Chains A and B, each alone.
Chain A
Amino acid sequence: MKSTADHATLAEQFNRDEERVDWHDGALWWIRQKRDRSANQTPQWEELREAASAIKSNVISNLHDYLVQFEDNLKKNGVKVYWAADAEEHNQIVYSILKAKEITQMVKSKSMLTEECGLNEYLHERGIDVINSDLGEYIQQIDNEPPSHIVLPCIHKRKEEIGELFHEHLGTEKGLSDPTLLTRVARKHLRNVFLTRRAALTGVNFAVAETGEYVVCTNEGNADMGAHLSEVQIASMGLEKLIPERKHLGVFLRLLARSAIGQPITIYSSHFKKPRPGQEMHLILVDKGRSSLMARPDFRDSLKCIKCGGCMNTCPVYRKSGGLSYHNTISGPIGAILAPNLDMQQHADLPFASTLCGSCSNVCPVKIPIHDQLYKWRQVIVKEGYVANRKTFSMKAMSLTFSSPEMYQTAGKTGRWILNHAPFAVNHKLNPWYRQRDMPGSPKQSFGEWYKKNINSKDKH
């Protein structure tokens, strides 16, 4: 499934259709603007971000005790608890729960964690059919493509393409592309799915250590439709989703939807605590790299993420390269700082897919210094040897030249040394600067030379 092409290559492919890039960029910028309006209308917005960040700092610093407290409360509430070290173990647990009840079909609401774990494929291989019920995720599933955005899974698709998929998979009239009509068709089809599935799996947005409840946020109502009609309800959550007390939900629910799409709250914020009579509830706590990320002081704050997608909407690189260019379940700036911890070789390119403009850190509702972490990941990736030797050699040459005034000045004289180096032509046969940009002019003399002639000589006389 994993792509071998890097972000730059995939982004270049995305950019071959400029009209689509403009449309994609415009759609996401519109959401960024809605987020700005919403933030501006919320009193004490910056203080809220600060509080959210501080609560999450507390969670990371006391996670062990919160996990134990949460587990105790889950058990008291009648929820069965599991611990999974990695994707394989998580998938096995889900499979064993379903197998025990002889269930072969499951409906799932949005869960990036299960996407990361490859749960659908795992269950499919064992004869269990999973349907994603979030409309965007459903569309991505029938197109056999991963989500390109954590909140807006098919933001890169045109309605005509979705119409074509519906024609193929749901038998709609050819050429039908009206979003309302397509949504009605999906509503009818998926309602039948909800009514016939005995098992439902949801992700978790927030889990409260104090009470043992967990909160799932959707706009569509798909998590609730699945969960309340199921006899087996499963929730998969990363360890970092915990928050200490119920009252802290106030802070996060005020920030989440406003940061995500400029809405004051998601339509549905469902607090699951105990199973219905006759129903089973299972919750799987998944590590999958979280505890190892905690061991990296420069990067552990990325565990604060509440998956609002705000950093993607504001990121000009994301908007102009598309989420699939990141070849990772979680794309965009946050994906680029989470992925290297999981597989540095596979994701060595992602921290470089940024101009370090810093807009992501400013919209982040939990104040993760995303662009600082991108910079720091670059240092780690280079030190651990995941960058081509050619680049290392050229950097050494650059470093040597800049370390020596004499070499620098001589190099400058002999044809503006810099024109042949940073950043125009570093070890590339075909100069990528020149493909769509002219070279800067080459002045007769540098400032240093001018200064020597005009100022130093004046001083002498």
Chain B
Amino acid sequence: MNSREAILAAVKKNQPALSPLPDISMFKVVEADIASRYTEVFTGIGGQVIAVSELEHIKPLLSEHFDISKRTVTTLPELSDVAELINTEVDPHSFDDVELAIIRARLAVAENGAVWLTESVMGQRIIPYICQHLAVVVTEDSLVSTMHDAYGKIASEDYGFGGFIGGPSKTADIEQALVLGAHGPLSMTIFLIKQ
């Protein structure tokens, strides 16, 4: 018997009588002002939220907040005049020198500040992790209260890779001192588009 069969046989033999799955539909949080809640939580984590009324308005803000003389990349065609459109075919190692990446979130979660990204909005999987600074465009109507609502929206969507990102990369491994910028971005900015 190979290990697969041996393991499956042992598991089958030793598992107890079937225990039912619980109902998890009762986990609901209703936010009176979801945008404020999101902003408060994300700022608390060490991120920055900048509210704008339309996408076009973030262009002048980029030079104010970032060094755009360095390599700036995006997956948003609307920003192609201020940033390089990400080539989905090239070697991911070639993004090592990216200073700023601007991408769009599928949704964002008020209870923890996290944005949901799939590889289709990342351009390449490595982008939101390898850049020095990450900026994410979030529209107000894509905000959800909790992770339950987030998975409700993601549902059975197919993707090769997806991830929640909830702030700048961080570590507290040295004496519990919080340091932003462990291996991933040093900062994370949300451009929250409120109509």
Chains A and B directly touch (beta carbon < 8 Å): yes
Residues of A contacting B179 in the complex (Cβ-Cβ under 8 angstroms): 179-180, 183
Closest residue of A by beta carbon distance from B182: A220
Total contacting residues, chain A, CB less than 8 A: 92
CA distance A195 to B129 in the complex (A): 13
Within 8 Å by CB of B7, from A83, A155, A194, lies A83
Interface residues of B in 41-56 (CB under 8 A from A): 41, 45
Within 8 Å by CB of B182, from A55, A187, A285, lies A187
Q: Tell whether, in the assembled complex, residue A264 and residue B113 are in contact, meaning their CB atoms are under 8 Å apart.
A: yes
Within 8 Å by CB of A291, from B14, B19, B150, B173, lies B14
Tell me whether A63 is interfacial, beta carbon within 8 Å. Answer: yes
Closest residue of A by beta carbon distance from B125: A228
A-contacting 9-mer, from B61-69, B76-84, B163-171: B163-171
Tell me whether A412 is interfacial, beta carbon within 8 Å. Answer: no
Q: Tell whether, in the assembled complex, residue B7 and residue A264 are in contact, meaning their CB atoms are under 8 Å apart.
A: no
Q: Tell whether, in the assembled complex, residue B3 and residue A83 are in contact, meaning their CB atoms are under 8 Å apart.
A: yes
Within 8 Å by CB of B150, from A30, A244, A250, lies A250
Within 8 Å by CB of B114, from A84, A158, A265, lies A265
Interface residues of A in 327-359 (CB under 8 A from B): none
Within 8 Å by CB of A297, from B16, B125, B173, lies B16
B-contacting 9-mer, from A272-280, A314-322, A369-377, A436-444: A272-280
Residues of A contacting B164 in the complex (Cβ-Cβ under 8 angstroms): 253, 265, 268-269
Q: Tell whether, in the assembled complex, residue B170 and residue A267 are in contact, meaning their CB atoms are under 8 Å apart.
A: yes
CA distance A246 to B170 in the complex (A): 26
Interface residues of B in 138-195 (CB under 8 A from A): 146-148, 150-152, 154, 156, 159-177, 179, 181-185
Closest residue of A by beta carbon distance from B186: A187
- With known contacts A62-B15, A158-B175, A228-B125, A274–B7 Cβ distance under 8 A: no
Q: Tell whether, in the assembled complex, residue A64 and residue B15 are in contact, meaning their CB atoms are under 8 Å apart.
A: yes
Tell me whether A25 is interfacial, beta carbon within 8 Å. Answer: no
Residues of A contacting B130 in the complex (Cβ-Cβ under 8 angstroms): 225, 228-229
Q: Tell whether, in the assembled complex, residue B182 and residue A272 are in contact, meaning their CB atoms are under 8 Å apart.
A: no
- Cβ contacts A120-163/B at 8 Å (1 or 0 each): 00000000000001111001000000000000111101110010
Tell me whether A221 is interfacial, beta carbon within 8 Å. Answer: yes
Shortest Cβ distance from residue B104 to the other chain A in the assembled complex, whole angstroms: 18
Closest residue of B by beta carbon distance from A34: B176
Residues of A contacting B183 in the complex (Cβ-Cβ under 8 angstroms): 133, 187, 190-191, 194, 220-222, 225
Tell me whether A307 is interfacial, beta carbon within 8 Å. Answer: no
Tell me whether A13 is interfacial, beta carbon within 8 Å. Answer: no
Shortest Cβ distance from residue B49 to the other chain A in the assembled complex, whole angstroms: 15
CA distance A265 to B147 in the complex (A): 10
Tell me whether A266 is interfacial, beta carbon within 8 Å. Answer: yes
Q: Tell whether, in the assembled complex, residue B27 and residue A61 are in contact, meaning their CB atoms are under 8 Å apart.
A: no
Tell me whether B32 is interfacial, beta carbon within 8 Å. Answer: no
- Cβ contacts A39-64/B at 8 Å (1 or 0 each): 00011100110110011011011111
- Cβ contacts B24-40/A at 8 Å (1 or 0 each): 10110100000000000
Total contacting residues, chain B, CB less than 8 A: 71
CA distance A15 to B179 in the complex (A): 29
Q: Tell whether, in the assembled complex, residue B161 and residue A183 are in contact, meaning their CB atoms are under 8 Å apart.
A: no
Residues of B contacting A227 in the complex (Cβ-Cβ under 8 angstroms): 125
Residues of A contacting B16 in the complex (Cβ-Cβ under 8 angstroms): 60-61, 294, 297, 300
Q: Tell whether, in the assembled complex, residue A247 and residue B146 are in contact, meaning their CB atoms are under 8 Å apart.
A: no
Residues of B contacting A228 in the complex (Cβ-Cβ under 8 angstroms): 92, 124-126, 129-130
- Cβ contacts A402-428/B at 8 Å (1 or 0 each): 000000000000000000000000000
Q: Tell whether, in the assembled complex, residue B10 and residue A247 are in contact, meaning their CB atoms are under 8 Å apart.
A: no
CA distance A450 to B4 in the complex (A): 69
CA distance A16 to B22 in the complex (A): 49
Shortest Cβ distance from residue A106 to the other chain B in the assembled complex, whole angstroms: 16
Within 8 Å by CB of B184, from A50, A162, A220, lies A220
Q: Tell whether, in the assembled complex, residue B112 and residue A265 are in contact, meaning their CB atoms are under 8 Å apart.
A: yes
Interface residues of B in 103-128 (CB under 8 A from A): 109, 111-114, 124-126
Tell me whether B20 is interfacial, beta carbon within 8 Å. Answer: yes
By CB atoms of chain A within 10 A, which of B6, B14, B163 has the most?
B14
Residues of B contacting A162 in the complex (Cβ-Cβ under 8 angstroms): 174
Shortest Cβ distance from residue A182 to the other chain B in the assembled complex, whole angstroms: 6
Q: Tell whether, in the assembled complex, residue B160 and residue A247 are in contact, meaning their CB atoms are under 8 Å apart.
A: no
Shortest Cβ distance from residue B179 to the other chain A in the assembled complex, whole angstroms: 4
Residues of B contacting A267 in the complex (Cβ-Cβ under 8 angstroms): 45, 165-170, 184
Q: Tell whether, in the assembled complex, residue B41 and residue A43 are in contact, meaning their CB atoms are under 8 Å apart.
A: no
Tell me whether A397 is interfacial, beta carbon within 8 Å. Answer: no
- With known contacts A68-B8, A239-B11, A264-B166, A276–B160 Cβ distance under 8 A: yes
The 10 closest A-B pairs by CB, nearest first: A221-B184, A264-B112, A220-B182, A136-B173, A291-B10, A274-B160, A179-B177, A294-B14, A228-B126, A265-B112
Pairs A–B under 8 Å by Cβ, sample size 26: A50-B22, A55-B24, A58-B18, A58-B22, A67-B11, A85-B6, A152-B176, A183-B181, A190-B183, A191-B96, A211-B156, A224-B125, A224-B163, A246-B154, A253-B147, A263-B45, A265-B147, A267-B165, A267-B166, A267-B169, A273-B161, A273-B162, A276-B125, A294-B10, A294-B15, A295-B10
